[in-house]
Structure 1
Amino acid sequence: MNFIIWIVVGGLLGWVASMIMRTDAQQGMFLNVVVGIIGALLGGWLLAPLFGTGTINQNDFSISSLLVSLLGAVILLAIVNLFRRGSPR
């Protein structure tokens, strides 16, 4: 059951991150889930030690973990945009 929740929350976080970075028209539902989950991993690696919280990948569904996972997804999309276009949006 946690796996399904993980995919749903990852998809929502990926969708919100794509809306923030204005890449929503370029990616579908599958890429939103991928961005959300990989962004949570990136956020857990980079941001979780700074804020002292977990991420959705660590079964921590608090507001702070959702924000760290969302920030990780936004950072991931910024990195992808940097390599794809040459400059972040």
Structure 2
Amino acid sequence: MAFLYFLLIGAISGWLAGQLWKGAGFGLIGNIIVGIIGAIFGGWIAGNLGIGGGSLLWQIIIAAGGGWILLFVISLIKK
């Protein structure tokens, strides 16, 4: 059940990050992948800053922030 919860947060946060970054994502599967990697990255950053945990909405915001940073790094690599 925790894995499905993780995928749901990944999908929502990946979609949100895609909407915030130039208004487009990578499709459903791409958004889930970006969201999951972003959730891991955002959770790591939030944990180091001492602001991790919290409600579902806070977890989605942290994961979307990590996804946004990931999309920024991808855009730098693509150039």
Q: Report the TM-score range of the alignment, normalised by the length of the smaller protein.
A: 0.7 to 0.9
Gapped regions of structure 2 (runs ≥ 5): none
- Rate the CA distance shift 1:64–1:37 in 2: closer, same or farther, 3 A: same
**Distance in 2 between the 1:52 and 1:7 partners?**
22
Identity of aligned residues (%): 30
**Matching of residues 46-57 of structure 1 within 5 Å:** 46-54=45-53
Deviations 1:35-57 (A, max 9, x none): 00000111122233214313xxx
Structure 1 counterpart of 2:78, which letter?
R
Deviating beyond 6 angstroms after TM superposition, the runs of 4 or more aligned structure 1 residues are: none
Aligned pair count reads 79
Residue 64 of structure 1: aligned partner: 58
Structure 2 residue 68 is matched with structure 1 residue 74: yes
C-alpha separation in 1, matches of 2:56 and 2:28: 24
Cα RMSD between the aligned structures?
1.9
TM-score, normalised via structure 1 length: 0.75
Q: Which runs of 5+ in 1 are unaligned?
A: 55-59
Does residue 31 of the first structure (1) align with residue 30 of the second (2)?
A: yes
CA spacing shift, 1:18–1:72, aligned 2, 3 Å: same
Rg larger in structure: 1
Identify which of structures 1 and 2 has the higher relative contact order when contacts are C-alpha pairs closer than 8 Å and 6+ apart: 2
